[in-house]
Structures are given as C-alpha cells and as structure tokens.
Chains A and B, each alone.
Chain A
Amino acid sequence: MFNFRRLLYVNRTIIGVILAIVFIGLITLFSAANGNINPWVTKQFLRFILGVMIFGVIVASDLRWWIQNAYLIYLIILIMLILVEFLGFVGMGAQRWLDFYFFNLQPSELMRVALILCLARHFSLLEVDEVRHLKNLIFPLLLIFIPVLLAMRQPDLGTAILLLSSGLSIFFVSGVPWWFFATGFCAVVCAIPVLWNFLYDYQKKRILIFLNPESDPAHAGYHISQSKIALGSGGFFGKGWLKGTQSHLNFLPEKQTDFIFTMFAEEFGLFGCIIVIVLFSILLLWGFTVADHARHKFSKLVAIGITTTLFLYVFINISMVMGLLPVVGVPLPFMSYGGTAMITLMLSMGVLANISIPGTKKYIEK
C-alpha cells in the first residue's frame, strides 16, 4: 500500500517553506533558551525529524486507506481523549497530555485531523441536495461536538475553538445553506449566558481581561501587556537575535510555546514578522490550490479542512499575542515548542501533499 516514489512529486517550494518556518522556529527556541540548544532546540528538532518521517509515510500511503478508516481513527482518538480524563496528568493547568515515552501525546491535537477526515468522508458521500436537509447534518454535528465538549472539559478552550471552526469550514464548503450558519450563530449568541456558567474561573477571567486588558495589567493582564510591549518595542528590524530584553529577562511568559511569535517579533521586528506571515500565506495558498485541483470531493474537503486548521492556528496564535483575541492557548505551527502539534502538523501536511500529487486519482477511482 505504500509507494515511496510518490515522494518525488511533492512540491519542492512547499518543502522549502516548511523547512524555513521550522528553521526560524528553531533559532527562536535557541534564543529563548538564552543561546542554548537545550532544553528546547534538540528535542524540537528530533520531533521534526519524526514529523518528517510521518510526512513521508503519509505521502507514500494510499488515500483510500484513510477514507476507509476515517471513522476508526476518529473512534481510537476519541477513546484516547476520554482516557485523558482518567489517566492524563495535570500539566500547564490543563489535563491535555497523555504520557508517552518519547513525548507527551495530546490526543485533542490528533483529533483535529481525525475530525476533518470523518467530516470529509461524511459530506463526500452526500449529494448537494441532501446537504440541505437538517437530518443529514445531525451526525456531523455530533462528530464535532463530542470532541469539542471533551476538550472544553479538559479544559482546553483553544482546541475546542479550533475543532469547531475547522469542522464548520467543511460544512461551509460542502454547501450547507446559509440559514444553517445564521441559525447556529443566533443560537450561540443566545447560549452565551448559559455557556458562561460552564466556563472555569480562569477562562472567564481571560475573556474579561481580553475585553478590557488595562483593568488589571499587574496580574491577570500581565501576559498580554508584556507581550504587546515586547512586540511593539521590536520596531521594524527588531532588537537583534539573542538581544530581546523582554524575553531574555523573563518578562515575557511562555515564550517558547504560545508566545514564540512575540519572542521572534521582538528580536526580528516587523521585517521578520512579515517574512513569517508570508511563509505561512504561501502554505495556505498552496492548500487552496491543492483543494481546487483535487479531483475528488473527499480530497477537496480534506484539503480545505486542513488549510483552514492551519490558518486558524496561525491567526488565533498571532491575534492572541497581539491582544486581538483572548489568550486561549493555541500554538504557532512549526514554531512553538511542543511535540504533538509538530507531529499533527506534519501529518496534515502529509495528507495535503498526498492529495496534491497528480495520479492520486487513479488510487481513488477504483
């Protein structure tokens, strides 16, 4: 079922872009450790290598296998997600991690890929007219809401939002009528007061702080105000590599994970930020092109789902560190330190690359 010759057809530019982003991520981690490859660079690099292997395996694999096993994968990851409730330990204030030997596995990250595969499969089998019927939307809604609710319980607001948004993007491009989204939006607005009560205190606080960051700059708003200071003080060319004061003097919290963009922006300035955003934009554009060129409905939907997920990662993370969105704990793709995110992203990119290769058609069309 594996055909490693397919690897030769992967778009070279895209490989270059991914390598560039990973490289930028590694030098930023090097700086975050005050000019040291430990504790982050080495580990992150090894994870990337693992990611590259997974990427290769996915590209070489037969997409039909993924279509056939989409629900099974979803189920396995759902079980892992439920296990987290019982086996996962508390880390970073959230039970997101499942302890594996090499790294801590975060099943909710993997769920993002699984969810996209399931939804794509579901909608690829529906005719456009069938999509307009609510009864056909109940199953995919369940597919979305089960992991979303589990993620919120953990509590991991960022993942919940990502799952929901990327899921809905597949609804959208599948041709689900506008009234569905309008109704859903109204329902959410009405449900906000109810949902509010389900949120944890720290989540409520973060949202309140987001709405009015100056209300408590000393304590709860500390992350955001320090992040803005770091970003803004970077200027156009930045303070120089290894010379960011906010990050090196530890005023910037979580600089190796959620706030790595800030760390980078302080040292490389607007100039560096534009480069990073352009690199991500190339990836996104490529994703759309892949979706556009794909011959099969399933491939198109998966490509859109993956591209949207990537976009949401980038957008939410950067908005969050700039104070445009509440701090919800979404990493920056390929740059933030973290095992599962790297693996999941490389896996997603593998799927995209797999779809992009001409001739995929012949595997899918029996």
Chain B
Amino acid sequence: MINEQFGPIFKRRSFILGLSKSILITGLLGRLVHLQIFNRDHYRTLADRNRIQTRFITAPRGQIIDNVGKPLAINQNVYRCLMTPYPQLNIEEELGILESILSLSPKQIKDLRDQLTHQSKIATIIKENLTWDEIAALQLKLPDLPGLLIERSQIRQYVYPEILCHTIGYVAQASQKDLTEHNLDPIPGLRIGKNGLEKTFENSLCGSPGFQRVEVNAKRRIVRIIDNTPPKIGQDLQTTLNFELQEKIIQILEPHRNASVVVMDVNTGAIRAMVSKPGFDSNLFVKSIQKDVWKSLLTHEDNPLINKPLAGQYAPGSIFKMMVALAGLYDKAIDRDTQVFCPGHFNLGSHTFHCWTWNRGGHGTVNLEKAIAESCDVYFYNVALKIGALKMVEMASRFHLGQLTGIELDGEKKGLIPSLEWAKFRKGFFKQKGQALNISIGQGVVLCTPLQMVRMIAMLVNGGKILTPYLVEKNSHQIPEKFVEGIDPSWLEWIQQAMNKCVNDPRGTASRANLKLNDWTFGGKSGSAQVCRITMQQRADGTYKDLPYHLKDHAIFVGYAPIEKPQHAVSVVIEHGKSGGGVAGPVAGEVLNAARHLYV
C-alpha cells in the first residue's frame, strides 16, 4: 500500500517529470512551425533543387549540301555518357568504374576529375561515340554509377573530309572563351563552327538548343520529364560548290604536292569548286583533336591548314600581262596592231631584262595577240616604259586584284597591288623604270590570290561585268550589274582571242594543255611566278632548271571555257610546278572539261 511519505514525493516528482515532458513536446512543435511555416520556401527551393534538373538538348546542326543537293556535312547519331555532378558524388569511385569499362587513359581520368570537381552545374561528357559493348557494360553497372546518363546525341560528320575541309571548315568544341564571347548556353559537348562556312554561317546552321526539366531521384536517374522545349534544328545550307567537280579536281591534282584550284561561274561569280592542296581530315577536329596531331598539321611544311585559294599570295606572273595590255589600250599607248621586235632580251640602262625565250633568240616581231599568246616579255616591257607602273596597277585595281573579294570565308588575304597610298612610304616607287618592267610581267612586288586571279579572268571573258565570288546563293537581293569602267568590249574580245591562241595555237605557251577534243576547247593564259631570282651564272650554265623544290617557280594558269560563250573560269596555281603552260595549263584544261558537264 502507498505509504504517506511516498505519496507526496511521487506526486511532486511525477508532476515535474510530466511538466518537463510537456515543455519538450512544445519545443518540438515550435521547431516544426519554424521548419514548416517560416522556412517552408527555403526548404521547398532546396527540395526542388534536389529533384529538378535542367538539361540542354543540343540542336541538330543544319546540313551543308552542294549545288545539286548532295550532303557534304551531316549529323551522325552517337551515344555518349555524361556525368552530372552533385554534392554526394563519389568522383573517385565512379571514375574507377568508368576507367575500366571505357578504357580511359590516365590523362583523360585526370581531366575528367578536374572538370567534375570544378564544374558544379554542367554535366561533363565522359565519352562520346560509345560502342555497343560499352553501352551494355555501362547499363550493367548503372546502379553503381549514380549521376551517369547515357543519351543519344548528334555530332557533325564530314562525308568527304579531305576534299572539302577548307571551304566547309569544321566545328569543334566551344571553349570557355567562345561561350562567354557568343553568350552561349553551357551545353555539354556544344560544338561551334571554327572555320570555313561552318563558322560564317554558324548562326543559321546551329539552330537553337532545347531545354528539358526533368525530375531525378537521389541516384540522379531521370524519373519523369516535367516539361520539354524541343530544340530547333539548324537551317540547311546549300553551297554553290559541286562535289563531283571538287572530287575530280582532287584526282587531277594527284601528282602535285601543293596546289590551289578555283572554278567560278563567269556570269554570276558562284564558286563551283575550290581546292587547296594538301588538305586534312576535318573530322579530327569534331572529336577533340589530339595535341600532337594538331601540332603536326600546324607545322607541316605544306601548310595543310591554310586555304591557299584565299590565303596564298603569289606573284601573278604572265597572267598579269592582260592587265598591262588593257592599261596600254586604255592609255592609247598601243593598239591591236602595234608591233614590237623581241630579240629575247631588253636593256634598261646597264641591266638586261630577259624574255623567257632568251635562249631561242626571242619572239621576233610581235603584235598584241602574239604577245599574249606567246607571252612575250619584251612587248610588255615596251608598254610598261610608255605608260609607267601607275597606269598598270590602276587597271589591275579595276579588276579588283589586290583587294579582298568578300567571299564568305575567314582568313582571306589581300595580295598586293601597289597604289599611291602604298607608295607614300616608298618614295619614287612609281618613277623607277625597273619596277615598272617587273610589274609588267607580274613579278616584283605584285601579289594576287588564286581567287583574285579567277575573278580577273572571269571578268575578262564576261564582258567586264564585276563579280563578287560567293559560296552560298543569296536569294534575298539581286546585286545590280556593274561593269569595269572605261573598257571597250572589243579590247576584251582581242584579249580573249589571244588567250584562245595561247592554248589552241601550236606556238601558244599553253599549247601542251590542249586536250585536242573535236567539239570543245578552252582558252587561257599561263604564268609562272619566280620564287627566287635567276643569277647570270645559273642562266649561263643552265643549272636554274634543277633548282630544289622550294625554289622552283610556281606554275600558274587562268582559263575559261567554252571559247564561244564562256561559262566557267578557272585559276590553277601549282606551287613550284615550274611551267604555267606545261603543268598548270593541262590541269586547268581537265578541270574545265570536267566542269562543262556540270549541272548548274
């Protein structure tokens, strides 16, 4: 039985106990109110941050197709795996598993570790182009790889990487700098155009990325898609290039090491083919290119990364004589029948300028047509002396030599045609007769790019219509036709006839280039650009013929076809090919022959 002493003590003590329990329970309620009412929004945000992930979906890039619709740059479906970093991610453990499945190199592991540690938001691409075996192995291990996502994606693929590398260019992974500069969303594996048409038309090709908000679980597996904004596919891009012609040119150039060939429509300025040799595998850049491969391309002596038709600057050589002839006609210093005697050399003061026929005793009596067809230097030396250097370079400028053509590609060089502006810092340049003589045969300071050369020849055979070369048809606005000022159409006809003879007359400098077809022939003008000066000694003992490769002349040829109603113009530069008529000419002939079957 409860005794009287115990009763009150028990009552008092159990009351204390009960009271403290009530206080503690009230405390719990207070804490609950604090968490669930006052901090509700804070924790809701945290909960959403836990479960909701925003994923970018790369937009498929627009295709690049040739003028008849043949795909040149397409998208390839690939499977890739990405890792979305999150606070509980055990980077080392997962990298260990991935290393064994995907056979990653220690360097890749190191890079991935850095990226995963430092990028807290963007998913990191572990590997692209997974094989089926790798996908199967990853799927099997997926429970041990929280945060890993295998998804289908598209990457750029160049169907003919070596053939079109320079004009189409390539895409490569956007660097941090690209992202900030172009204000791009940090999409994993985003590639942007780094070169060529891919770069120029980046904005229309790239489309716009899609977004997906997904709910993920604690293992960062996607549970459901909350909302989805699909990507907008980039616009396809049709170039004026013709793949078949381009491929044919590569075949024709087979024997040559360094060359550039440009084919242009003489009526519109559309570029039908543009080849720079050697090329490179542009697909290498799409998957990130290895440093040593990149370095070897960069330091290669044949400069495969340079687009020679735009960035190669060559002395135009004898093809410049057409400009001199027009300048002479314009200045009325000569006419069609003006005759000059060529003994094979030309003396200016104590210096002797040689005609290329010096060892055969010269061309004898030459008129304008013969001077062009047989490329008589002495004839043009005479014209040069009469009109001076300034008149010649002015005419060249009217044909836009020495000026950027404005083609839709980066890296174009201007070449060099001296102007009064330029001569300001070279006192008396235009008064030096020697300079004038050199310029008259396209040597000395003048430099042109193959693209400028082809435009020049196109403008000579289309009646003087000014052309702007282009690779992508612009249907938005028609550019009004403009013609070179002050040129009599008959002069152009004379020059055209002379170029016809150059190829089709047995004495023409490019007679070896004649394909001897019954129904078709082409015209043109050869040239060779001296790389180094031939000394008197070399001339005397004939050793100038056996110069080492890099000192040999560049072989140049500009041509057009057909003779009757020109459609295509071509410029060919074979670096160190020596003979314009004998080496570049045949190439031009074959190219033009191939081009005439083009569907345009």
Contacts and interface: CB of A to CB of B under 8 A. Distances in A.
A251 B218 contact: yes
A273 B36 CA distance: 10
Contacts of B336: none
- Specify which of A222, A296, A311 lies most central, judged by the most chain B CB atoms within 10 Å of its CB: A311
B233 to A, nearest CB: 33
B217 to A, nearest CB: 4
B91 to A, nearest CB: 11
Interface in B37-91: 37, 39-40, 42-44, 46-48, 50-51, 87-88
Interface stretch (B17-25, B253-261, B366-374, B585-593): B17-25
Given A249-B218, A288-B18, A235 B50 contact: no
A90 B13 CA distance: 41
B223 interface: yes
Contact of B35 (A231, A248, A249, A315): A231
Interface in B212-259: 215-219, 223
Contacts of A269: 36
A251 B35 contact: no
Given A173-B13, A233-B40, A311-B21, A277 B5 contact: no
> Size class of A's contact patch?
35 or more
A229 B49 CA distance: 10
Nearest to B219: A250
B29 interface: yes
Contacts of B37: 235-236, 270
Contact of B51 (A128, A249, A314, A319): A249
Contacts of A292: 11, 14
A345 interface: no
A295 interface: yes
Contact of B36 (A235, A248, A249, A319): A235
A291 B14 contact: yes
A362 to B, nearest CB: 13
B32 interface: yes
A129 B223 CA distance: 67
A322 B36 CA distance: 11
Nearest to B40: A235
B289 interface: no
A228 B29 contact: no
Contacts of A327: none
Interface in A144-163: none
A41 B75 CA distance: 52
> Size class of B's contact patch?
35 or more
A232 B44 contact: yes
Interface in B503-540: none
A273 B34 CA distance: 13
Contacts of B42: 232
Given A218-B88, A235-B44, A249-B223, A296 B1 contact: yes
Interface string B462-474: 0000000000000
A16 interface: no
B256 to A, nearest CB: 62
A265 interface: yes
Nearest to B28: A318
B24 A175 contact: no
- Specify which of B28, B35, B46, B219 lies most central, judged by the most chain A CB atoms within 10 Å of its CB: B35
B88 A234 contact: no
28 contacts: A127-B3, A127-B5, A128-B5, A172-B16, A173-B17, A175-B6, A228-B35, A229-B46, A231-B32, A231-B43, A232-B35, A232-B39, A233-B43, A233-B47, A234-B40, A235-B36, A235-B37, A235-B44, A245-B48, A250-B219, A277-B32, A291-B14, A295-B1, A296-B2, A297-B6, A315-B25, A322-B28, A322-B32
Interface of A: 127-129, 169, 172-175, 217-219, 222, 226, 228-236, 245-246, 248-251, 265, 269-270, 273-274, 277, 281, 284, 288, 291-292, 295-297, 300, 304, 308, 311, 314-315, 318-319, 322, 324, 365
